[in-house]
Amino acid sequence: MLDLKFVRENVAKVKEAVENKNEKTDVDLILSVDEKRRSLLSEADKLKHQKNVVSEKIAQMKKEKRDAKEEIEKMRKVSAQIDSLDKELKEVEEKMADLLLTVPNVPHSSVPIGFDEDSNVVVRTWGEIPKLDFEPRPHWELGQILGILDLPKAAKVSGTGFLVLTGKGAKLQRALINFMLDLHTQKHGYEEVLPPFMANRPSMTGTGQLPKLEDDMYLCEREDLFLIPTAEVPVTNLHREEILKAEQLPVYYTAYTACFRREAGAYGKDTRGMIRVHQFDKVELVKFVKPETSYDELESLVIDAEEVLQLLGLPYRVRVLCTGDLSFAAAKCYDIEAWASGVGKYLEVSSCSNYEDFQARRMGTRFRPKKGGKLQYVHTLNGSGVALPRTMIALMENYQTKEGTILIPEALRSYMGGMEEIK
C-alpha cells in the first residue's frame, strides 16, 4: 500500500507505475474520493469539537447543580448531525481504503521498463550447461523409470497437478529441504521458522495477495482461511501490527512450507511432469530491514539463494524483472532460473523481491529509528531459497546418466545417508 499523501503529491509517478505494471487502478477516482473525504472530515471535526466543549460545560453545570436542560437539548441535535456525517464519512473511508489496496507499488528507478517477460534482463549466469552425449530424458520419464515419482497415483488421489514422490524420490526432496535450511541457518544467519500453512484474510492482505489474487488461492470457506501460496505470507506477517526495535534489525527468517496455488489461468502451460503443480515445497527467505539498507539486502538475498544452486552444481541465470513482469507489491525483483537439460529450458526456481515499505504499511510493521525519533515503516524482502519441484527437476535432468540413473551431487550425499546415485 502506498501512503495516501504520497499518492496525492506524486500523481504522475503513481500513474506511471500503474501504466508500467499493466494495472488498471483509477488514480483520479482516488483523488476525488480523497477530496470528498477531507471535506467531510473537517465538517465533522468542527461539530465534534463543539460537542466536546459543551459536554464539558454540562459536566461543570451538573457539578454546580445548575439546570443544563437547554444545553442537553442542543447537544442532542448536534449528536444527530455528527452521526449522519460519520456514517457518510465511514462509507467514503471504506471506499478509500479499498481503492488504496488496489494501487500497485512503484518500481525502483533501476528496474527496466517493459511490457512483459521478454523485457527482463539477464544480469548474470553461472555454471556450464551440461553437454550430455545422449538424448536427455525429461524428469517424468526418469521418475517413472526409477520409481521415485508417481504421477498417475497423484492424479488418482488428488487430481492433475499433484505429485507423489516415493522411496528415494521422497528422500531426495527431504534431503534438499534439510540441506537448504541448514545452509541458510548455519552459514547465512537466518532464523528457522515453521509457520502455519493456512493464513487469514488480514495476513493475505498484509503481504499483498489480497484483494487482487483471491482467485489464485485455495480458500477454506468455513473458516475463511487460505492455504498459503508461499511462506512469505505467514512469515512476513509474524510482525504484523508490531513495532520492532531498531537494534534488532535486520531480522532474517527462513522457513520450509508447502505452498498451494490454484494456477488459475495457467491451463495448458507446463502441464507435463512437475514444472507447474498445485502443491509444492519451498524453503523461503524473509527479511525485515531498515529502509536505507534494503537494496543492499536484496543483493545479498539473491546471493544467498544462488548459493543453493552453486553448491548443488546446477547452472542458472539471474534476471531482473521489467516493470510489466514485476508483481503488484514489489519494487524490484530478481528471478533465478535453473537450467534443466531434459525439458531443455530455464526454470524459475526463485523470485527475490524488495517490497520497500509497501507490505509494511499494509501490515503496520514499524520501528523507531532511535532517540525518540518518529516511527518508520520497515522494508520487507523475500525470496525463495529455493523452490523444490523445479530444483528437483534440474537436478534429476542434469545429473542423469545414459543408463537412466541419477547421480547425487556431493553436497547432498550426507543428507542421503551417503547415497551417490539413484538407480
Partner RNA sequence: GGAGAGGUGCCGGAGUGGUUUAACGGGGCGGUCUCGAAAACCGUUGUGCCGUAAGGCACCCCGGGUUCGAAUCCCGGCCUCUCCGCCA
Task: List residues near RNA by CB under 7 A.
Answer: 3-5, 38, 41-42, 44-46, 48-49, 51-56, 58-59, 62-63, 72, 75-76, 79, 90, 243, 371-372, 374-375
- Cβ of residue 372: shortest distance to RNA, in angstroms? 5
Shortest spacing between CB 93 and RNA, in angstroms = 9
Question: Can you tell me which residue has the cell 521498463?
Answer: 113
Question: Minimum distance between the CB of residue 90 and RNA, rounded to whole angstroms?
Answer: 6
Please state the closest distance from residue 361 (CB atom) to RNA, in A.
9
Q: For residues 59-75, b (16+ Cβ closer than 10 Å) or e, as one string?
A: eebeeeeeebeeeeeeb
Tell which residue, 347, 386, 394, 337, has the closest CA to residue 139. 394
Q: Which is nearer to RNA, 10 or 144 (CB)?
A: 10
Identify which of residues 6 and 126 has a Cβ nearer to RNA in the complex: 6
Q: How far is the CB of 418 from RNA (least distance, A)?
A: 31
Shorter beta-carbon distance to RNA: residue 99 or 347:
99
Report the candidate in 43, 46, 74, 38 with the shortest Cα–Cα distance to residue 58. Answer: 74
What is the arrangement of strands in the sheet containing 365-368, beginning at the earlier edge strand? 242-245, 365-368, 376-377
Residue 113 beta carbon to RNA: minimum distance, rounded to whole angstroms? 30
Q: How far is residue 196's CA from residue 207's CA, in Å, rounded to a whole number? A: 15
**CB nearer RNA, residue 50 or residue 119:** 50
C-beta closer to RNA: residue 61 or 155: 61
First to last CA, the chain: 51
59 or 266: whose CB is closer to RNA? 59
- Rounded CA-CA distance 231/175 in Å is 19
Q: How far is CA 127 from CA 45, 306, 309, 316, in A?
A: 65, 11, 10, 7
Q: Which is nearer to RNA, 55 or 310 (CB)?
A: 55
Query: Least distance in Å: CB of 49 to RNA?
Result: 3
β-bridge partners, 283: 256
Phi-psi region of 157 (alpha: psi -120 to 50; beta: other; left: phi over 0): alpha
Q: Of 24 and 374, which has the nearer Cβ to RNA?
A: 374
Helices (H) and strands (E) in the chain, counts: 13, 16
CB of 56 to RNA, least distance (A): 6
Cell of 19: 501504466
What single string gives the DSSP state of each residue in 238-249?
GGTTEEEEGGG-
Q: Are 201 and 224 in contact (CB under 8 A)?
A: yes
